[in-house]
Amino acid sequence: MHEIPIRSFAVSVVILRETGGTHEVLLLRRNGSLEGEWCQIAGAIEAGETAWQAALREVEEETGLRPSRFYSADICEQFYEADRDGVSLLPVFVGYVPSAATVTLNAEHSEFKWLSFDDAVRMVPFAGQRKVLRHIQQVFVDSEPSAWLLIRETAAVND
């Protein structure tokens, strides 16, 4: 019997802003790995970091943004990687930024777009990403997220 490993080494972050009474999702066009694809923020967890700390660091590194509110999305993005013969399981986070927030991309991305959920779902390449976006729309836009999902420690980080 051969078992494939389940690895959890990275995080995924969906950034939202409210503008004109609607919520928009930030997608980034990738350079390098997955070149040309539109994706949410993602990155590896470094030694000594919690998953939420890695998520906040990745948001700032990739976009220059600092979310005003930060949540566990209460879902994991999962996918199989054939080159590693393993399943990756990434905790997902949700960050809110002001509508006028300025995005400053790093070299990992060539451009960004603020999109409706429907448009974002059409642009991401993987079924797992679409599932995550629909979950976030349902839990964070169509209803009020549980207060238990709020990551309160980030208030000190953002001060």
**Bridge partner residues of 113 (DSSP):** 27
Q: Judge contact between 27 and 118, C-beta under 8 A.
A: no
pTM of the full predicted structure?
0.92
Domain ranges, ordered by start, for the chain: 6-158
Per-residue pLDDT of the chain in tens (159 residues, 90 and over written 9): 989 999 999 999 999 999 988 999 999 999 988 888 999 999 999 999 999 999 999 999 999 999 999 999 999 999 998 988 999 999 999 999 999 999 999 999 999 999 999 999 999 999 999 999 999 999 999 999 999 999 987 644 544
CATH no., domain 6-158:
3.90.79.10
Distance of CA 82 to the CA centre of its chain: 23
Among candidate residues 65, 41, 84, the one with its CA nearest the CA of residue 154? 65
